[in-house]
Amino acid sequence: MIAFLLALSVWLAWTPDKTEQVLLQSYNRPGTARLMVQQQPVFVQDSGPRDAPAILLLHGFGASLQAWDDWTPALEKNLRVLRIDIPGFGLSGPAVNQDYSDAADVARVIALLDQLGVQQVIIAGHSMGGRIAWNLAAAHPERVSKLVLLAPDGFPDPNAKSDKTYEVPALLGLLPYSLPQWALRMGGVAPAFADGSQLTPQMMQRYHDMMLAPGVRTALLERMRQTRNSDPVSRLQSIKVPTLLLWGEKDAFIPVSNAQDYLKAMPQAKLVTLPGVGHVLHEEAPQVSVQLVTEFLRQP
């Protein structure tokens, strides 16, 4: 009986993928393109002057390049702004090699920069994207001029700093089949905001759409299974570029107290916290956060 009720509930909440064609009708904007990078499709937004210094924006877990919509107009005045759907998310689709390790993420970004002819870049990364950003800066210091890390992943749990993967709850196995918008809102998106009024219906629709992009939910589970929490301190200590840490003081996902781990490992980093703001500070407080970034980038 329990199995029957579970199966019935999944059927009633059946949520199929949206087709790429349907999603492109809403999200294919001027400056977007799908590039083939080492046989991997990467959905890219490229704006701003091509001869200006470049900044690469890396979104967080479950998000997409549109997460930076409110930052881009301010940045592209003086910078070439590159935004991507990280493979496994959005319209880039699943990684063709099914590899979601830190090394694979870094290699894909470096290959993209090579293909675009960008030799050195400023990188701003949020949460998972922050983890990719600082791993890239550690592995390829010559390619990064400055770092902006927004509530970056890397010290998720003092007891998880070992070479082990996350345990994915069995219930999440239903994710590829059932994801009504209310469930995504309650279970993942709304808790990322301290002020729920900042989560607009349009923003919620975009989060839901991108989770329903072809293959993304299965890729998300595979990324979770492959995520390892090896101690990051030695890699962080090797990073010497100027670094800005931004954190919402009401971050319910990666608490602001984790910033102290980064400051110990990266004495050149500067921390700025935003009162009353949650995890997605670039979406909840875009004007304040992007102003802090532009001021940081003006410094020698």
Give residue-wise pLDDT tens across range 165-180.
556 677 777 788 889 9
Amino acid identity for residue 257 in this structure: S
List the Cα angle 241/273/142 in 5-degree steps: 10
Q: What is the pLDDT of residue 190?
A: 96
CA-closest candidate to residue 138, choices 103, 104, 99, 100: 103
Residue 3 has pLDDT above 70, yes or no: no
CATH top class, domain 2-298: alpha beta
The whole-chain average pLDDT of the chain stands at 91
The pLDDT assigned to 71 comes to 98
* Residues 199-254: tens digit of each pLDDT: 999 999 999 999 999 999 999 999 999 988 788 999 999 999 999 999 999 999 99
Q: Give the per-residue pLDDT at 248.
A: 98
Q: Which residue do the tokens 């910033």 mark?
A: 259
Residue with tokens 């980064």: 262
Helix, strand or coil for residue 184? helix
Lowest mean pLDDT among 9-18, 145-154, 213-222: 9-18
What's the Cα-to-Cα distance from 32 to each of 47, 66, 156, rounded to whole Å? 9, 11, 33
Taking the C-alpha atoms of residue 101 and residue 83, their distance in angstroms, rounded to an integer, is 20
- According to DSSP, residue 230 is labeled -
Query: For residue 280, is pLDDT > 90?
Result: yes
Helix axes 102-116 and 128-139, enclosed angle (nearest 10):
70
